[in-house]
Amino acid sequence: MSDSFDVIVVGSGPAGYVCAIRCAQLGLKTAVIERNVASNDQPQLGGTCLNVGCIPSKALLDSSQRYAEAASHLSVHGIGVSGVSLDIAGMMARKEKIVSQLTGGVSGLLKANGITVINGAATLNAGRQVEVSSAGSGNQAYRADHVVLAAGSEPAAIPPAPVDGDRVVDSTGALCFDAVPQRLGVIGAGVIGLELGSVWARLGSEVMMLEAMDQFLPNMDEQIAVESAKIFAKQGLDIRLGARVTNVRVSGDYVEVTYSQGDTTEKARFDRLIVAVGRSPRTAGLFSADSGVTADERGFIFVNDYCATEAPGVWAVGDIVRGPMLAHKGSEEGVMVAERIHGKSAQLNYEVIPSIIYTHPEVAAVGKTEQELKAEGVNYKAGTFPFAAIGRALASGETEGMVKILSDADSDQILGAHVVGPSAADLVQQIVIAIEMAASTEDLQLMVFGHPTMSEAVHEAALAVDGRAVHMVNRTK
């Protein structure tokens, strides 16, 4: 038996490394096990988020938006630009530099907190024994008083569209194109598909998105989803709902996709195809049958409200447990588990976790949707306010979208907020704080918001809940 630890964390993504750092801060002897290896033969820290997910995709989203603005959107500001060129290699190099900087930062934080980093594939066995296998050092066994499983997720696959890493790629491959596809197909019009489709559409691709669901963004507030669909259509994204892919055939330099819409069978030809149908928990081989840990048929580990598994002293956090696959959700679960291991009564309010789509404009939400409140029979009030009536938005040329706030009709407590528009992610965070503090729309109405700011849309939407918006004509309720 090799070293023993107070806590072993399996996985170094946002859920894992944050949990490990908090454990170390609390004085616990902590180790992190990471299976992936970077190009320098060191453990590839940071998980999907830092390496092939959140961070690189946002780097490309930002770069592509700047290119689109320079190429065609600055004349309205009286700025003439000619000869705009696209350097894909330079764009990718910038992305990799950002990833390297952040993963290096995680390495430095783990080292500064005295955390042991072990490279290899981990399997949890009975009695909280963790067996680690690696190409360089074979198998080694470790034991801990507590084990936190934070193995993350991987792109989901569908049988009709096998990924070949060339013409047909998953979300990871879509971050590494060396040229802009003339025609790009995307299977899935969810968060990942929309973000990746947006990147390449801005850079010049003709993008068609095939979404099997009949409703666009079904988990979002319906009014916001409808508004978002209109905006994306204006941007040139060809989103086809109820389109179920039945066959994908690669032939030379193109990909032929067969899909059905209702009773009709259609075919489309693309230069590249992205399969973006969601993500699956990475739990295969993570724990043995005698470990005491159990999972459902999709591979999600069973945990209670505090992320404790059915095995004593074993916890699971992040993408491998119930709830949305969001880096910030996993990080906060990691903190909660670290606190509970140390004997504190920490908990996480799962009702107040924001969701964000980093398109342009952004789409963001927190709390209940209007359709959920209707289904639950809640007596509610709703207020919306368009960015077109916000001075700062007009000055910036960012007038598409709206802010929507929902509250309890009796208590006035805020129940949800939904935004499509400029700075949506940051504006929703204001409502996250409000809901967490059990604020009412009246509380927002009485606050002073700076002028001119995008935040004024939040203030006006809160006023609109009671038919009191100042900078638009209120509808009679």
* pTM for this predicted structure: 0.96
Beta bridge partners of 417: 366, 405
On whether the CB atoms of residues 373 and 413 are closer than 8 A, the answer is no
**62 CB-near residues (< 8 Å, 6+ apart):** none
pLDDT score, position 136: 73
Q: What is the pLDDT of residue 311?
A: 98
* pLDDT, greater one: 42 or 433: 433
CA dist 398 and 65 (Å) reads 13
pLDDT recorded at residue 167: 97
Catalytic residue among 73, 328, 451, 471: 451
pLDDT digits (tens, 9 = 90+) for 17-36: 999 999 999 999 999 999 99
Is residue 328 among the annotated active site residues? Answer: no
d(CA 333, CA 340): 10
Least confident of 2-11, 107-116, 442-451, 462-471: 2-11
How would you classify the pairing of strands 129-134 and 121-125?
antiparallel
**For a pLDDT cut of 90, what percent of the chain falls above it?**
96
Nearest to residue 425, comparing CAs of 449, 463, 455?
Answer: 455
CA dihedral for 293, 298, 300, 303, sign (positive or negative) = negative
Q: How many Cα atoms are found within 13 Å in the side-chain-facing hemisphere of 157?
A: 12
Helices 14-25 and 327-341 cross at an angle (nearest 10°) of 30
φ/ψ (deg, to 5) at 243: -100, 105
3-state helix, strand, coil in the chain (%, to 5): 35, 30, 40
Q: In this predicted model, what pLDDT tens digit does every residue of 231-280 receive, in sequence order?
A: 999 999 999 999 999 999 999 999 999 999 999 999 999 999 999 999 99
Rounded mean pLDDT of 321-347? 97
Question: What pLDDT, on the 0 to 100 scale, is given for residue 119?
Answer: 95
State the pLDDT at residue 477.
58
Checking if the pLDDT of 216 tops 60, the result is yes
Q: Residue 42 has what pLDDT? A: 87
Q: Which two tokens stand for residue 201?
A: 């559409």
Q: How far is CA 277 from CA 69, 156, 189, 195, 446, in A?
A: 29, 6, 8, 13, 43
Could you read off the pLDDT of 79-88 as tens digits, one per residue? 999 999 999 9
Average pLDDT, the chain: 97
What pLDDT does residue 2 have?
Answer: 61
Average pLDDT over residues 304-330: 98
Percent of the chain whose predicted confidence (pLDDT) is above 70:
99
Q: What is the pLDDT of residues 103-141, one digit of tens each?
A: 999 999 999 999 999 999 999 999 999 999 987 778 999
Peptide bond into 56 cis (omega under 30): no
Closest by Cα among 61, 159, 43, 55 to 99: 55
Torsion angles phi and psi, residue 360, rounded to 5: -130, 110
Rounded to an integer, the average pLDDT of 208-213 is 98
266: which strand partners? Answer: 259
**Can you give the pLDDT at residue 293?**
98
| pLDDT higher than threshold 60 for residue 1 | no
CA atoms within 13 A on the CB side of 43: 24
Domains and CATH numbers, the chain: 4-155+280-350 (3.50.50.60), 168-277 (3.50.50.60), 361-465 (3.30.390.30)
Q: pLDDT tens, 385-424?
A: 999 999 999 999 999 999 999 999 999 999 999 999 999 9
